[in-house]
C-alpha cells in the first residue's frame, strides 16, 4: 500500500539523482535519528521514499505529510503472493540462491519493492541496519541494478539474524556507512571489506537546538479546559518576545493546546505533556522556574476551589502567578493578576524572570505558607473530627 501517493516522484523528479529509497522498519515509527537524518536530507534537496518492512501509523516519528512511504498490507500481500512467486520463478538462479542463504522471505519482499522503486524513479537504495532491511536491499539491487548503501550500527555484529547473508550483502554493497570507528575497524579486520567502500558516518545532533537552556520555564498543570485559562497564558507568551521563555503544559482534556499555540503564534514557546503521576509532576515542580495558574470563571465550569497543583508546587518552593479565581486567594498572596489579563501575566513573568533572587524569596515564602496552612496536619485534624463524630453517634 502506498501512502502520500500524491507526493511520490513526478516525471520531473525521476531524473533527479537525489531520489533515494530508504528501506526501514516503522513498527514504532522511525528511529528518531533516522527521522532527523531524513529531515536534513530533504532540506538539502533529496527526495526520500520509505519502503517499510513493518508499519504502524500514528507514532510521533511517523513520516511527515510530504514524505512518501510504502508498506505492505498483509491482505493485499497475500492476494498478490501467487503473482510474486511467479515473478520469482523468472529468476531461478536468484531464487535458488535465496533458498540456500535462508533469505527467501527477504527476496519475496524485494520482489514486491523493486518494481515500485523503478516505477517511481528511485536512483539509489539505502538501508538502515545490516539486518533483514539490508538483505531486502541486497535483493532489490539484484533486481534493479541500483546502487546500494547501508548504515551499520551495532546489533548487526552481535545479534544478526543471518550472518551468511550479512557478509554477502556487505560485499555486494556499493557503500557502507558505519557510525563508529570501532565498526570500521571490525569491517576491515573480520569481514575483509575493502577500505574504499567504507565511509565513517557518525550520527549527528543539531547543536543550535540541543544546547544548555537559557529559557525561563513556566509550568501550567491541569485539565485542558477553558476554566484553566491556558489560552490566556499563551497570549501572555506572545507579549514576551523580549525574553526567552517557554510554557510547559501538563494535563489532559478536550482542548488541543498544540493547535491553540499554533493559532496564537507561540508554538515555538510551548511544550505539551499528557497526564502524569505524582513522581513525574514533582520533577517539573522542582525544576521549572515559575508556576502559573491563570484560571478564569466560566458559566459551564464555575470557579476554582483551591487547586491542589498550587499546594504541590508551592511546597516544592516554586514562585507562583495566579488569578483570584474562586478561593485561590486563600493560598496565594503575591502575583495575583486579574482574570483574562494576558498583559498582567506577561508583566509578572517578566519581573520574576529577571530576578533569580526574587524567585528564590517568593519560592521560600510559598513553601512556608503551605507547610503552615496546608500540611498533613490537616488530614490528622480531619481524621480526629471523624472519630469525634463516630463517638458522638455511638453515644446516641
pLDDT along the chain (396 residues), means of 10: 47 65 93 94 94 88 92 77 84 93 94 94 95 97 97 94 96 97 96 95 88 91 96 97 95 95 96 95 97 95 93 96 94 93 97 96 95 89 87 66
Are 299 and 174 in a shared domain? no
97 located within any domain: yes
The residue assigned the cell 533483514 is: 132
Tally the domains of the chain. Answer: 2
Are 241 and 99 in a shared domain? no
Give the bridge partners for 290, in sequence order.
218
- The SS3 assignment for 44 reads coil
Are 165 and 314 in a shared domain? no
pLDDT at 246: 97
pLDDT at 16: 64
Are 52 and 176 in a shared domain? yes
393 located within any domain: no
**Nearest partner of 285 among 244, 314, 308, 306, judged by Cα:** 314
Are 246 and 178 in a shared domain? no
253 located within any domain: yes
Positions of E strands within the chain: 2-3, 19-26, 47-55, 69-71, 124-128, 148-152, 175-178, 216-221, 245-250, 270-273, 290-293, 320-322
What residue numbers bound the domain in which 264 lies? Answer: 216-379
pLDDT at 7: 44
42 located within any domain: yes
pLDDT at 394: 66
Dihedral-angle region of residue 312 (phi above 0 means left; psi in -120 to 50 means alpha; beta otherwise): alpha
Q: Are 353 and 243 contacting, i.e. CB atoms less than 8 angstroms apart?
A: yes
pTM for this structure? 0.76
Are 107 and 10 in a shared domain? yes
Are 223 and 171 in a shared domain? no
Are 171 and 220 in a shared domain? no
204 located within any domain: no
Which CATH number goes with the domain that contains 289? 3.40.50.2000
pLDDT at 395: 57
**Nearest partner of 47 among 13, 15, 73, judged by Cα:** 13
Are 282 and 145 in a shared domain? no
Q: What angle do CA 243, 248, 251 make, to 5 degrees?
A: 160
202 located within any domain: no
Q: Are 317 and 362 contacting, i.e. CB atoms less than 8 angstroms apart?
A: no
Are 180 and 265 in a shared domain? no
End residue of a domain, out of 169, 197, 225: 197
Please list the helix, strand and coil fractions of the chain in percent, rounded to the nearest 5, in that order: 50, 15, 35
Amino acid at each position: 500500500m502506498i501512502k502520500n501517493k500524491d507526493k511520490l516522484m513526478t516525471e520531473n523528479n525521476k531524473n533527479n539523482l537525489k531520489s533515494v529509497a530508504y528501506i526501514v522498519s516503522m513498527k514504532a515509527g522511525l528511529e528518531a535519528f533516522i527521522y532527523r537524518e531524513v529531515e536534513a536530507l530533504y532540506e538539502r534537496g533529496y527526495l526520500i521514499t520509505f519502503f517499510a518492512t513493518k508499519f504502524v501509523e500514528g507514532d510521533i516519528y511517523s513520516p511527515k505529510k510530504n514524505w512518501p512511504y510504502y508498506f505492505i498490507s498483509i491482505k493485499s500481500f497475500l492476494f498478490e503472493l501467487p503473482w510474486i512467486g511467479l515473478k520469482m520463478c523468472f529468476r531461478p538462479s536468484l531464487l535458488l540462491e535465496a533458498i540456500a542463504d535462508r533469505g527467501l522471505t527477504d527476496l519475496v519482499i524485494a520482489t514486491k519493492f523493486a518494481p515500485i522503486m523503478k516505477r517511481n524513479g528511485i536512483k539509489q537504495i539505502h538501508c538502515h541496519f545490516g539486518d533483514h532491511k539490508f538483505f531486502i536491499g541486497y535483493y532489490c539491487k539484484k533486481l534493479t541494478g541500483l546502487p546500494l548503501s547501508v548504515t551499520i550500527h551495532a546489533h548487526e555484529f552481535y545479534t544478526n539474524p543471518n550472518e551468511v547473508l550479512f557478509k554477502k550483502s556487505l560485499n555486494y554493497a556499493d557503500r557502507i556507512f558505519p557510525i563508529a570507528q570501532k565498526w570500521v575497524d571490525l569491517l576491515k579486520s573480520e569481514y575483509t571489506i575493502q577500505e574504499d567502500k567504507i565511509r565513517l558516518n557518525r550520527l549527528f545532533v543539531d547543536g543550535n537546538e540541543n544546547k544548555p537552556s537559557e529559557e525561563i520555564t513556566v509550568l501550567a498543570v491541569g485539565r485542558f479546559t477553558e476554566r484553566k485559562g491556558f489560552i490566556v497564558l499563551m497570549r501572555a507568551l506572545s507579549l514576551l518576545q523580549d525574553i526567552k521563555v517557554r510554557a510547559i503544559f501538563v494535563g489532559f482534556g478536550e482542548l488541543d493546546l498544540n493547535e491553540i499555540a499554533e493559532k496564537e503564534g507561540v508554538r515555538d514557546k510551548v511544550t505539551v505533556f499528557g497526564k502524569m503521576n505524582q513522581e513525574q509532576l514533582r520533577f517539573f515542580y522542582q525544576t521549572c522556574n515559575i508556576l502559573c495558574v491563570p484560571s478564569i470563571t466560566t458559566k459551564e465550569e464555575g470557579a476554582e476551589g483551591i487547586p491542589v497543583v498550587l499546594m504541590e508546587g508551592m511546597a516544592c518552593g516554586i514562585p507562583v502567578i495566579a488569578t483570584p479565581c474562586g478561593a485561590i486567594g486563600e493560598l496565594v498572596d503575591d502575583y495575583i493578576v486579574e482574570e483574562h489579563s494576558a498583559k498582567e501575566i506577561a508583566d509578572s513573568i517578566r519581573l520574576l524572570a529577571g530576578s533569580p533572587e526574587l524567585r528564590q524569596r517568593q519560592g521560600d515564602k510559598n513553601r512556608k505558607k503551605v507547610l503552615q496552612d496546608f500540611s498533613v496536619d490537616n488530614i490528622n485534624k480531619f481524621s480526629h473530627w471523624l472519630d469525634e463524630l463516630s463517638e458522638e453517634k455511638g453515644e446516641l
